[in-house]
Amino acid sequence: MTAVHEPITTGSHHTPNKPRIAVLSYHTSPLAEIGGPEVGGMNVYVRELCQALGSRGFALDVFTRRSSTVAPEVQPFGPNVRVIDIDAGPAARIDKDELPHHISTFTRAVAAFADEERNSYAMVASHYWMSGVAGIELAERWHVPHVAMFHTLGEVKNRARDTEHESAERIAAEQSIIDAVEAIVVASPHERDLLTNLHGAAAERVVDVPLGVDLELFTPVPKSRARTQLGLRHNETLLLFVGRIEPLKGIDVLIEAASLLSQQDNVRLLIVGGDATAMPEIATLREQAKRLGIYPRVSFLGAVDHAQLPLYYSAADVTVVPSFYESFGLVAVESMACGTPVVASNVGGLATTIIDGETGYLVSPLTPKGFASAIDKLFADRHLREAFGEAGHRAVERYGWPSVADEIASLYQQLLHEHAALPSGV
């Protein structure tokens, strides 16, 4: 049962008798623009979850590594929630391989910030493995429970595609976090099984809570209106990809699949995501499209404002998620919320979020021919697309933020209660 909390004054940095939670999002800020490097579903999740918890009476400070010289140190972004930029390494975006070198600096700086403000944190909630490393030390320092969420696991990524080379350091760190924390939140039963089978996590400490979707934002827009607003042609059949531009997302598989479609002359593939740092990968994908003879019909749109995504989903005839691994598959759920059917890889959380043959198609094995076949079925039958879209829209109700936030709030309250019941000094 979710506890009822009294309101906490927005922007207050110390509220007597109210639990304040230190949320660690070391490598990326929840305020960062979606589609950039290391920016995606996790940013949306942290932002939306913290705002939902703040509205339920929790007080949260979200600590992130400073990557800009212009951002203020402290930014309120919702009732009882602040984002705090911490100096750790250069105040700029740096290569992800360099990020682990500054975790210890980040950890010390978070502790110093808490000391300066005389803040007492009742819990640490970490997101991604680097945050988890910092979280272990901070939770021990403050003698508070630590709940972690990995979002992706290094060992699983390495097994998903041979282009992935996650470090032994990361995999060892993830094991240390699993062994140290009081609870681990996963987004799907598949991820729970991976933690228990690959890493020996105690099943009673792994809590399955799906990712949330803003169902007020992600809702169907009439296709003609969406295309008009985006300046897209009304007489084209549109395929849509949304996500980071990286090999694990399988965009090369999608481009080859697009070249195999039966009615490819009238098909345009829209690829949403990526920024300047993704240009080498985009260049490789452009060359692939040229070799396959479909370059004029592939559009790389770069990162778009999060509020614009419902227009793209609604404008598309089919959204494709060709990832080699997804712990949940947020893009698929957003698309279904907008009434657009999905063709996706039958991997990870996608196998749970998509109902094969009802809200979309799951493809296995992950081959261009397999994706092309599933896409062709939907392109050939408007009534089937509409039926899948309507079924998908109904199916995502369980992913609305109110129910997801209630589950997380209940977990946090349980951990806080259990910790309070411990003998002093334990």
At 202, which amino acid appears?
A
| Collapsed DSSP state (helix, strand, coil) of residue 266 | helix
Question: Which pLDDT belongs to residue 63?
Answer: 97
- Token pair of 212, please? 């949330």
Residue 363 pLDDT: 97
Confidence at residue 369, expressed as pLDDT on a 0 to 100 scale:
97
pLDDT in tens, 198-209: 899 999 999 999
Evaluate the omega torsion of the peptide bond into residue 310 and state whether it is cis, within 30 degrees of 0.
no
pLDDT of residue 119: 83
What are the Cα distances from residue 164, in Å, to 183, 273, 325?
Answer: 28, 20, 11
**Beta-sheet pairing, 81-86 with 59-65:** parallel
Q: Which pLDDT does position 13 carry in this prediction?
A: 42
| CA distances (Å), origin 147, targets 22, 128, 220, 279, 395 | 11, 11, 35, 36, 29
> Looking at residue 297, what DSSP letter applies?
G
- Domain residue spans in the chain? 20-212+400-420, 223-399
How far apart CA 407 and CA 149 sit, in angstroms, is 14
Q: Structure pTM?
A: 0.84
Q: According to the model, what pLDDT value does residue 44 have?
A: 84
DSSP H or E run through 401 = helix 401-420
Which segments of the chain have a pLDDT < 50? 1-16, 35
The helix/strand count (H/E) of the chain reads as 15, 14
What pLDDT does residue 426 have? 54
pLDDT at 274: 86
pLDDT of 14:
40
Using left for φ > 0, alpha for ψ between -120 and 50, and beta otherwise, residue 390 falls in alpha
Q: How far apart are CA 287 and CA 269, in angstroms?
A: 15
Is the CB of residue 56 less than 8 Å from the CB of residue 21?
no
The confidence score (pLDDT) of residue 61 equals 97
CATH superfamily of 20-212+400-420: Glycogen Phosphorylase B; (3.40.50.2000)
* DSSP single-letter state for residue 396: G
Asked if 20-212+400-420 and 223-399 have one fold, the answer is: yes
CATH superfamily of 223-399: Glycogen Phosphorylase B; (3.40.50.2000)
pLDDT tens digits along 146-158: 999 999 888 888 8
